Structures are given as structure tokens and as C-alpha cells.
Amino acid sequence: MSGSSRASRAFQQQTGVAVEAVDCPDNQPLLAGATLQCTLTTAEGDPVTIRVTQTDAQGNIRWEVVTD
């Protein structure tokens, strides 16, 4: 599963907000500790920027909304 798919699924599961689209940088290394910023578009059309950090070699992630 790609990083963008994981981010979308995690966001939806934790917030209950449906995600229509995800835009993450291409060709990012999927390694423990890797961090990237993605923009999610909710089903209502609202953009949300999140910072995604891969927490281990199995592809688990942690995410947070970017507010700055």
C-alpha cells in the first residue's frame, strides 16, 4: 500500500471525514523516520495539509494536521 493510501485511510479512520483525493510527493523513500507533507481533499472539497511520518519498516505511519 502506498504512503498516500495509508495517509488517506488513517485520516478517515481517525477523523470520520471522507477523503476524495490525496496528493503526496512522488518518489519519497518509504523508510522508518521518513517524513513528507500531503494534501488531502475531503469529500466536501476542503483541502487539509498533513505531515506523515513512517514509524517503522512495516509501513506504519503517524500523521498530524499542518496548521502553519
Query: So what's the pLDDT on residue 1?
Result: 54
Q: pLDDT tens, 9-64?
A: 999 999 999 999 999 888 777 789 989 999 999 999 999 999 999 999 888 889 99
Q: pTM higher than 0.75 for the full model? A: yes
**Rg of the chain taking only CA atoms, in angstroms:** 11
Query: So what's the pLDDT on residue 66?
Result: 94
Q: How far is 31 from 8, CA to CA, in rounded Å? A: 18
pLDDT at 2 over 90: no
Q: Which three cell numbers stand for residue 40?
A: 488531502
CB 65 within 8 A of CB 11: no
How many CB atoms neighbour CB 48 within 10 A? 15
